[in-house]
Structure 1
């Protein structure tokens, strides 16, 4: 039996623990086996908050069995799909970014990865009125570019400023600073960013490879360990706080010369969905094309490209 105590997980404070004890919920087992809707009414707390606490405790204490029906019900009640603001990309992503998951955009220099990330941040902040955490490890994000994108959406200066306030930017240039930031967000800063600006619905990391790939050459064991730490905290944060994590990655070439995401096999298991962005080589007679192709290469919901060629039904052209 594991006794409930304040601070065991986000949202479970001493006041809530006292309220649970008052209705004879004293252990983790008592809580995860209770009817959450009924319990929320008895304790006069939010059903959503109590449900989220139950999810975290289930993950932390895996000795308690969960049925497939419970997991499916949890999925339906907790997963949200966030539009990227680009209909073509949404189609490739099976409607958009899924909360609780990591989605990866990979591509070479000039493929449009950062521009897509900027667009996602602006769309969520302006159209969805929700907050975004944007972690910039390349120095490529500027307030001027975000403002330009917002000006294309609205002429209202007040609306532009409100949207900008919902985008919380961290500039970090090494993996240790990145880990400090991610652990800080997971332990409470993510909830603080939600105050007054809509709840945080997305964490964007542009780029994960910029701080990890330099460590995978010489001291490979150290680099691999740090990479797995970054992956672990991103995955738990996405699930525990029901946010969509979007990361960018560089590309390498396979033995056959085909472009593939970087960071190796170990990282390939981390994102649930992987998109490859490439320049479209075509140019019109009037001007050079600014189109990029987005191709699905990994998905738990759709059939991605085959090994011998890309399935065009899961590829789209984006204006970036």
Structure 2
């Protein structure tokens, strides 16, 4: 609410402002919505002067109108799309991971969650030359494993060293520590106009379920409160700092699926509203000797892609992701009640 005052614009003299106040017109909104001809007569001021003052105030304080197309173009201009390092997964995710969003990979142990996180982190630091904050809560990240993946993309030692320096690794083993790390990151990002933190384009947390599962369930209201606090923090970081937030989550048996053997993402329905994109990773059929490391990715939630579409990719013996066939649209039996 903008109050009318002397000098707020040319022509806004003390006498005019006082005359308007005598008629209970004290804000720009009230002046803009008033009948100018009637107000000029009641205030005993020039109609032309009042019209001119209102025109200037409207130009100064009225928002410019915009339509949906303009807002969409503005969103596209401020959004970066980060490649996962795998062409099949990129196409599957509508070109890759979007900044401003929370993307969640869910799956059982051995489904490839950590490897996907490592692959996309390495691709961001090697190919895109951007920085990544990698938060490890499972002990799944080792320096040798990370270096090996970088060596697959960068040949010279100097380039490998630079890529390693672009990944900031933090190990956390409790949710309180995770919240501290995220809040420190957001504060540091906001206060530094330039610097290392400001070039961070992705925040990876592997895994959130490892930190939250032990404090949820039963009557542990504090656990639910902490989970919602973490959810707000992740959403805020993604939206306000324009970074891609990637988290991993485990799966639990879905007793209500009807089939008896289905799975669904852990952490419950409340957490299901947190990720903008949710992808289920599954290991290929056991006993397939020719492709023992084949994985299937299925979209459970997305605003851009239809759900239940799947794609296949390989994790090679050295840990890199390789493309399988193009995306195929089909439904998986154990996803009927994934959320």
Residues 33-182 of structure 1 mapped to structure 2, 5 A cutoff = 33=63, 68-69=68-69, 71-182=71-182
Which residue is equivalent to 1:278? 282
Once the 2 structures are TM-superposed, how far is the Cα of residue 69 of structure 1 from its aligned partner? Answer: 4.7
Once the 2 structures are TM-superposed, how far is the Cα of residue 303 of structure 1 from its aligned partner? Answer: 1.1
Work out whether 1:304 is the aligned partner of 2:300: no
Once the 2 structures are TM-superposed, how far is the Cα of residue 275 of structure 1 from its aligned partner? Answer: 0.5
Contact 2:131 2:196 (8 Å CA) reproduced: no
Structure 1 Cα separation of the partners of residues 239 and 295 of structure 2: 31
Once the 2 structures are TM-superposed, how far is the Cα of residue 187 of structure 1 from its aligned partner? Answer: 1.3
Contact 2:185 2:197 (8 Å CA) reproduced: no
Which residue is equivalent to 1:251? 251
Rate the CA distance shift 1:73–1:302 in 2: closer, same or farther, 3 A. Answer: same
Structure 1 Cα separation of the partners of residues 72 and 224 of structure 2: 33
Once the 2 structures are TM-superposed, how far is the Cα of residue 197 of structure 1 from its aligned partner? Answer: 8.3
* SS, match of residue 210 in structure 1: helix
CA RMSD of superposed structures (Å): 2.6
State the structure with more CA Rg: 2
Which residue is equivalent to 1:316? 312
Contact 1:191 1:200 (8 Å CA) reproduced: no
Once the 2 structures are TM-superposed, how far is the Cα of residue 192 of structure 1 from its aligned partner? Answer: 5.4
Which residue is equivalent to 1:289? 292
Once the 2 structures are TM-superposed, how far is the Cα of residue 190 of structure 1 from its aligned partner? Answer: 7.0
Structure 2 Cα separation of the partners of residues 131 and 191 of structure 1: 17
User: What TM-score results when the alignment is normalised by the length of structure 2?
Assistant: 0.70
Contact 1:130 1:197 (8 Å CA) reproduced: no
Residues 177-192 of structure 1 mapped to structure 2, 5 A cutoff = 177-189=177-189
Structure 1 Cα separation of the partners of residues 138 and 100 of structure 2: 25
Rate the CA distance shift 1:147–1:202 in 2: closer, same or farther, 3 A. Answer: same
Structure 1 Cα separation of the partners of residues 304 and 186 of structure 2: 27
Contact 2:188 2:197 (8 Å CA) reproduced: no
Once the 2 structures are TM-superposed, how far is the Cα of residue 33 of structure 1 from its aligned partner? Answer: 4.3
Which residue is equivalent to 2:236? 236
Once the 2 structures are TM-superposed, how far is the Cα of residue 229 of structure 1 from its aligned partner? Answer: 0.7
Once the 2 structures are TM-superposed, how far is the Cα of residue 189 of structure 1 from its aligned partner? Answer: 4.5
User: What TM-score results when the alignment is normalised by the length of structure 1?
Assistant: 0.74
Structure 2 Cα separation of the partners of residues 32 and 240 of structure 1: 25
Contact 2:106 2:279 (8 Å CA) reproduced: yes
Contact 2:83 2:90 (8 Å CA) reproduced: yes
Rate the CA distance shift 1:302–1:31 in 2: closer, same or farther, 3 A. Answer: farther
Contact 1:282 1:288 (8 Å CA) reproduced: no
* SS, match of residue 138 in structure 1: coil
- Unpaired runs of 5+ in structure 2? 3-59, 316-320, 322-339
